[in-house]
Structure 1
Amino acid sequence: MRRVLRKAQAARFLARLGVRRGAAFRLRVAMPPGGGAGASTAARVALARAAGRRGAARVAAACLFSEGACDPLMRAAPERALWASRQARVLAVTPALPAMEIVGGFYGLPTRTNPRDALFADIADLAAQWPQACATAAAVARLASVSAARTLALRGPAHDPTAALAARLGALGWAIAHTGSARALIFAPGGAAATVEDALRAAGFAQVIRFRIGGRA
């Protein structure tokens, strides 16, 4: 297990939410801080909920104060938020995701998010296409792949294997964290062979996981 939140950070975060000193909490995460999978925000949201603070707007403001940038994990449906991470606000609510199967993990070294980092690709055109793309897994995967390719072209690393793995393993597309080492292959439900995890591990991926998202609950 890795430390994702120092005691002093936790104390300042809780104070921002009006929680008195003296409360004791223990958090454990099974993914690397700096992986780009939302561990830092998830830890703060869990801490807020353990302390009885659940208002999404208030928790988002406290996360922004503490981190300088945050994910929309305090919201009921975070996957449907077009989210301004440096402002902790929703720009638009998007349609529900189609059903997809994800196989992914972490490739390379973790990179903590720097709130002052502005070296990101322009994806305004992809955001405009996103609502219509949510109709099918293939369309979502296509936009995710374009976004990921732009990020790699701008930020690296060079020779990232994710796109080639997606093509070789029959994925609909692929995705990466804008910052951090998280990588994912996107499949239609049931479309990922049982050997995909082994292929990712052989390529250097760590903490490989398979899960499903989207579709009807």
Structure 2
Amino acid sequence: MRLDRLTAAAARPGPTVRVAGHLGELLQGRLGPDGPLALVTLPCPSLAAEVHWHAGRLALHQPGARLLTLPVLRRLCAAAGVSPHGRFRLTADMPPGGGAGASTAARVAVLRAAGVTDEDRIARACLDSEGASDPLMFTDPGRMLWASRMGRVLDRLPPLPRMDIVGGFLGPACRTDPADLRFPDISDLVADWRGANLARLAVLASESAARCLALRGPAHDPTPALAARLGALGWAIGHTGPARALIFPPGQAPLPAEGMLRAAGFSLITRFGIGGPSPA
């Protein structure tokens, strides 16, 4: 009887952890010509990595895209000070190399399923594993000026205002190179960010995206023209990936937006709202 109870307990599913990604960045670039690479992420609750954990021998199952390997999982957990066990089933809504945080979200989900809850500890382990990370381990990542190659918060920002986003992915995947620091200077945009309203933030995000495309490509990106045609306040991109987003006032993203993005070659199109005062 006791053996039956132990067997049933081992077969019972454990925690399910969901970690939201992002859809590119509102800002990304250097803080001065030789300064650190910094970003303000565009949180995306509709795209996430998810881990289902079950008791048993250590195993990693990925029915979709391969985001991690078992040796990487072991090293990740070791960096966070835990010894992994059990079966991890890992899935993600966003494509690897899409500029939507699949790599970081997957690692955060694995660590939380393994019992790690301290955000700073998770951030250090992700940086050790990736070499560059997104601030997806934190409760409100859109409020951070984040040094992605250093894994730390450079500044705390006001809450993002309410906005609606329509976006997706345009072009091939592009994995982030942690050694790549070829980005434009955005120190002037960061200086204007604090206290700006939604319309101004959208202009700043558009400028960050335009500077990045001018320096790094690709050329002839249709996103700014789509933003103008659809009456968006602005647009944002994955500065190291194909994520693209149009920024609208709450409730004002037009219904034809998805169809127009699809006709322009976008995939995995999503619509969501973010922002507003943080919960007390």
TM range (shorter): over 0.9
Q: Following the alignment from structure 1 to structure 2, what is the Cα–Cα distance between the partners of residues 11 and 21?
A: 7
Indicate which of 226, 244, 252 corresponds to 1:191.
252
Tell me which residue corresponds to 1:82.
Answer: 145
Tell me which residue corresponds to 2:206.
Answer: 145
How big is the shift at 1:18?
Answer: 2.2
CA contact (8 A) 2:147 2:154 kept: yes
Tell me which residue corresponds to 1:46.
Answer: 109
Aligned partner of 1:146: which letter? E
**Runs of 4 or more consecutive aligned structure 1 residues displaced over 4 Å after TM superposition:** none
Given the alignment of the two structures, is residue 106 of structure 1 paired with residue 106 of structure 2, yes or no? no
Q: Secondary structure at the match of 1:128?
A: helix
CA contact (8 A) 2:206 2:235 kept: yes
Q: How many residues end up aligned between the 2 structures?
A: 215
Higher strand share: 2
Greater Rg over alpha carbons, structure: 2
Tell me which residue corresponds to 2:119.
Answer: 56
How big is the shift at 1:21?
Answer: 4.3
Q: Secondary structure at the match of 1:190?
A: coil
Indicate which of 189, 202, 205 corresponds to 2:266.
205
The C-alpha deviation readout for 1:123-154, integer Å capped at 9, x for no partner, is: 01101111121xx2111100000000000000
Q: Following the alignment from structure 1 to structure 2, what is the Cα–Cα distance between the partners of residues 148 and 51?
A: 36
CA contact (8 A) 1:120 1:151 kept: yes
The C-alpha deviation readout for 1:181-205, integer Å capped at 9, x for no partner, is: 1000000011111110010000000
Q: What is the TM-score when the length of structure 2 is the normalising length?
A: 0.75
Indicate which of 78, 95, 100 corresponds to 2:158.
95
CA contact (8 A) 1:2 1:30 kept: no
- Percent sequence identity is 61
Indicate the RMSD between aligned Cα atoms, in angstroms: 1.0
Q: Following the alignment from structure 1 to structure 2, what is the Cα–Cα distance between the partners of residues 4 and 191?
A: 35
CA contact (8 A) 1:68 1:86 kept: yes
Q: Following the alignment from structure 1 to structure 2, what is the Cα–Cα distance between the partners of residues 109 and 68?
A: 22
Given the alignment of the two structures, is residue 24 of structure 1 paired with residue 87 of structure 2, yes or no? yes
Q: Following the alignment from structure 2 to structure 1, what is the Cα–Cα distance between the partners of residues 223 and 119?
A: 34
